[in-house]
Amino acid sequence: MPSGSRTVGVATGPAASLAALGVPTAPPGDVGRVLVPVDWQSVGLMSAPAAGAGAAMTITLPAPDVGHVYRVERIAVSTTLADSTTVATVYVGDPAPHNIADRTTDGDGGPVGDQNQPILVPGGVPLTIQWTGAGITAGAIAYARVQYTVCAIVTGRIGGS
């Protein structure tokens, strides 16, 4: 058989059908994890006043407990600035390029995140929103409304007994 080819047998049932298509599936009896909603939250957050012109404004949603995740469905952002040239960037963790989860180039009123593509925040890791841009003036304040579901990570057996 040529390299990269495979023989596909007769599939029965949903898991077998997925396996026949090359989608990895767990054999019956293997341990799997699922997210179980345990709480729904909608919180308003506010930054400290910007320290100076062009200074970043940051808001942090405290990390979920270990064994839980936040499923962030929606974030709405705004500022006290008259100029909307700021960028609001959402990070899972500390502000760093490898932690970017979403962003809006309209840091004053643009929505970030949505229900179709939620942002998952693992236990022990904060959600950070940071506004940057030359239009930030001393004393400016940033606001965010974060809507999320707190989910417990439940481990169990998949199929079989």
pTM of the model: 0.75
Q: Give backbone dihedrals phi and psi of 11, rounded to 5 degrees, phi first.
A: -105, 140
Structural domain contains residue 124: yes
Query: Where is 90: in which H helix or E strand?
Result: strand 87-92
User: How many domains in the chain?
Assistant: 1
Structural domain contains residue 3: no
Structural domain contains residue 16: no
Structural domain contains residue 87: yes
Note the Cα 107 to chain centre separation in Å: 18
Cα separation, 126 vs 110, whole angstroms: 21
For residue 151, give its domain range.
26-157
Name the more confident of 90 and 29.
90
For residue 50, give the DSSP letter.
Answer: P
11: which 2 tokens?
A: 């599939």
What pLDDT, in 10s, does the model give residues 68-96? Answer: 999 999 999 999 987 777 899 999 999 99
Alpha helices by DSSP H, listed for the chain, are: 13-20
Structural domain contains residue 59: yes
CATH code for the domain in which residue 109 is found: 2.60.120
Name the more confident of 107 and 126.
126
